[in-house]
Structure formats: C-alpha cells, structure tokens
Amino acid sequence: MGKFINHEAASAFLNSIDDPIVQSLVRFAYQTTLMTDAVVEGEFDLLYFLRIMEEFLRDRERLAKALMGDFTEEDKTGWGS
C-alpha cells in the first residue's frame, strides 16, 4: 500500500493558483484524488500531480479542442509551453 506525499506543499500550491476557474478545476481533481477508493501503489506526489493538472487546464484553447475531440498530433506539439 502506498501513500500520498507533499500534501502540505500541494495545498499551498493549489491556493496560489491565480486563475479562479483553473483553481476550481485543480481543486476538484485534488479532492477526487484524495477521496478515491483506488489503492495507491508506492508514493504519489500530490504537488507534482497538481502542477501537471494546472499546466494542462490553463491552456483553454487546447483543452477546448481536446474536449471536442479535435485534438490532433499537431496540437500536442508545445503542450505546456
């Protein structure tokens, strides 16, 4: 059985996200992760997870394309830049 690590740093990072929509979506992912029945294998770095979620969710144009099924290989180039 694994464990969550960097819980306090993840919480501080979450509170530092300045975009309220992105913060709300990242908070949802964070809370869902903590409440899931899935078993964690090894250590799960919550801070790393929230940073990745924030990077993914802040690019609204690419996110919208992905949600609409229009995400192409070309769109993947430069993800997170």
DSSP structure string for 1-35 = --EEE-HHHHHHHHHH---HHHHHHHHHHHHHHHH
pLDDT band at 78 (very low <50, low <70, confident <90, very high): low
Contact indicator for 68, 31 with CB cutoff of 8 Å: no
Residue 61, in any domain of the structure: yes
Q: What is the pLDDT of residue 62?
A: 81
pTM for this predicted structure = 0.78
Residue 68, in any domain of the structure: yes
The mean pLDDT value for 55-70 works out to: 85
Range of the domain at 51: 3-73
Number of domains the chain is built from: 1
Residue 80, in any domain of the structure: no
Q: What is the pLDDT of residue 7?
A: 93
Residue 23, in any domain of the structure: yes
Residue 79, in any domain of the structure: no
Per-residue pLDDT of 7-49, as tens digits, reads: 999 999 999 999 999 999 999 999 999 888 888 889 999 999 9
